Structure 1
Amino acid sequence: MNMKESRCLSFIMLTIVYALAFVVGLLVYHAFRGTGWHYLWQLFIADAAATVVVWFFGVVFHNVSVYDPYWSVAPPVMLTLWACRLHSWTSATVLVLIVVWYWGIRLTGNWAFTFKNLNSEDWRYAKYRKEQHPAIFQLINFFGLTMMPTVIVFLVMIPGFFVIEAAFQANIVCWIGFAMCIAAATLQLVSDTQRHRFAKDHRGQICEVGLWKHGRHPNYFGEILMWWGIWVMYLALWVETGTGCTLRDFCVAGALLNTCLFRFISVPLMEKRQLQNKPGYAEYRKRTRMFL
């Protein structure tokens, strides 16, 4: 049997890939620590280096989905390492780490549940691979399917980095952001569980149970809400010190771009496929909201 056809061996190979990416990221970060660059640039370059490792093995395995778990693995690891680096363990830091680990474990678990093997590639990637010239596809793969999500995920983490750096005690605004994040990750957990249970006995049918009765993408709504919650936790600095992030500051860019990614790219792409493959989806769209 081909190693890529084995689910167990595929998991092992991906674990090795991500361990290597982690080591490369750490080495690159330490290489740039003495440059005098702002720490956000140092962290981003390390993040990008780790991404390149994952992208490279995606090319080797002929499967862009090698990158899929990076979205949920990177934030808990990077934010925890940043807290360790600064020895910042205030209540605000702990709240940030609790929510990103809850969200990350939940989302990575959902990926693992649906993962088949390294021969199985997400239909969106397979579509690009089929429609584009190989050279063009690899450009799309590197910049659009791999590096762009890494940039967006890094941007949504920036408020979390700032909270950890500020080392302040959680106030009411911080707790509000924490509650938003817990609600968001729980919403994703419930919606994905409902969808998986429905699909088990109703493959190919439109899921209209639970949250899906009211919105077409409650799981996406949870992903959007999660990072707005992190941003709200950073707004707590304004209450605490009188300075911090406002609507005009760049650190809101991550949550905005993440919202736009789902609203204008992920949802339209998914719904176009659903309209083509599932009879009755047009009617389902008319009687439901996009998110929740």
Structure 2
Amino acid sequence: MIDALLLLAMNFAGLLGVILILWGISVIIRDVSFIDAFWAFGMVLLAWGTWWQVGAEAPHAKLLLGLTTLWGLRLAIHLTIRWAGHGEDPRYKKILAYTGEKRKWSWAKTALVMVFLTQAPLLFITCLPAQLGIWASANDPQAIGIAGWIGAAAALAGIAFESIGDAQLDAFRKNPANKGKVLDTGLWRYTRHPNYFGDALTWWGIWLVTLDLGWGTALASLIGPVFLTFTLTRWSGKALLEKGLHKTRPDYAAYVARTSGFIPWPPKTRA
């Protein structure tokens, strides 16, 4: 069987090639916002690339491939539709303008360094549980155990939670009467970020499936869900998004005061 390091190196090389093609497209259309959709689809490509290289037919490999594909395709399609409907993400526009002016870089160089070459390794790290789990299962075709089934249930719950939250937000935004208001019903009553929570739950679930194969592979890929959770809660997810919402939504401070920031929980009060 192919060595794990060689497998990961080939996966990363393929990912980098696709990233550079996407960068070229962004230069032509002067918009990098579609990278969010590729964040999810790129993990599907990595999972299938691993499957293709190791030829794993084991139960864990099939489960990991299925969960990653279901999560990634659903989210990629959702984000692509959102990008097509709303156009360029103002967050990326602001980052590119600020960095380009500060460092005296061209738009193309700024997009390459600040967006595409940054996204590639982060995407790759997050997807390590699926990559290493599929690889390990090829040499250990054991039946799925308790940890694996718990992980699968958690991942499916995360996908469902995120999907419902996205649908509720889309419906809210389509109503002109809600302009400038805060969505605080449905799943959004219990967490300010059901989509982010769903993402984290999905990848912790996928990691549990990998853990079912043994602690060695699980520990080697633990950085994936840990990094994703940190990103969603402390770095570019929740923290960055809420900074803007406080400025554009007058009622957002009250919403923050009564609603859990990440893990779903009954609201403290009801305004």
TM class by shorter chain equals: 0.7 to 0.9
State the AA in 2 paired with 1:223: D
Alignment equivalent of 2:112, drawn from 142, 146, 168 = 142
In the alignment, structure 1 residue 283 sits paired with structure 2 residue 254: yes
Q: In structure 2, do the counterparts of structure 1 residues 49 and 193 end up closer, same or farther at CA, with 3 Å as the change threshold? A: same
Distance (whole Å) between structure 2 residues aligned to residue 95 and residue 224 of structure 1: 18
C-alpha contact (below 8 Å) 1:234/1:244 kept by paired residues: no
State the AA in 1 paired with 2:52: C
Alignment equivalent of 1:224, drawn from 200, 215, 225 = 200
Deviation at 1:183, TM superposition (A): 0.8
Correspondence 1:99-118 to 2 at 5 A: 99-116=67-84
Deviation at 1:62, TM superposition (A): 0.8
State the AA in 2 paired with 1:195: L
Aligned residue pair count: 252
Distance (whole Å) between structure 1 residues aligned to residue 105 and residue 65 of structure 2: 40
Match in the other structure for 1:41:
9
Q: In structure 2, do the counterparts of structure 1 residues 205 and 229 end up closer, same or farther at CA, with 3 Å as the change threshold? A: same
Deviation at 1:98, TM superposition (A): 1.5
C-alpha contact (below 8 Å) 2:200/2:229 kept by paired residues: yes
In the alignment, structure 1 residue 73 sits paired with structure 2 residue 41: yes
C-alpha contact (below 8 Å) 1:195/1:207 kept by paired residues: yes
Correspondence 1:81-92 to 2 at 5 A: 81-92=49-60
Determine helix, strand or coil for the equivalent of 2:127: helix
Distance (whole Å) between structure 2 residues aligned to residue 43 and residue 166 of structure 1: 15
Q: In structure 2, do the counterparts of structure 1 residues 140 and 284 end up closer, same or farther at CA, with 3 Å as the change threshold? A: farther
Q: TM-score, normalised by structure 2?
A: 0.85
Deviation at 1:97, TM superposition (A): 1.5
> Once the two structures are superposed, what CA deviation does each residue of 1:78-137 show, in whole Å capped at 9, x if it has no partner?
3123223322121111111221121112102211331336x9211111112333316176
Match in the other structure for 2:186:
210
Alignment equivalent of 2:98, drawn from 131, 148, 167 = 131
Match in the other structure for 2:239:
268
Determine helix, strand or coil for the equivalent of 2:212: helix
State the AA in 1 paired with 2:105: A
Match in the other structure for 2:24:
56
Determine helix, strand or coil for the equivalent of 2:226: helix
C-alpha contact (below 8 Å) 1:185/1:226 kept by paired residues: yes
C-alpha contact (below 8 Å) 1:57/1:66 kept by paired residues: no
Alignment equivalent of 1:183, drawn from 134, 157, 169 = 157
State the AA in 2 paired with 1:98: G
Distance (whole Å) between structure 1 residues aligned to residue 107 and residue 240 of structure 2: 17
Gaps of 5+ in 2: 265-271
C-alpha contact (below 8 Å) 1:188/1:219 kept by paired residues: yes
Distance (whole Å) between structure 2 residues aligned to residue 174 and residue 37 of structure 1: 24
> Once the two structures are superposed, what CA deviation does each residue of 1:220-254 show, in whole Å capped at 9, x if it has no partner?
1111122111211111112xxxx5235xx342112
Alignment equivalent of 2:170, drawn from 191, 196, 202 = 196
Higher relative contact order (CA 8 A, sep 6+): 2
* Identical residues among aligned pairs (%): 26
In the alignment, structure 1 residue 154 sits paired with structure 2 residue 130: no
Q: C-alpha root-mean-square deviation of aligned residues, in Å?
A: 2.3
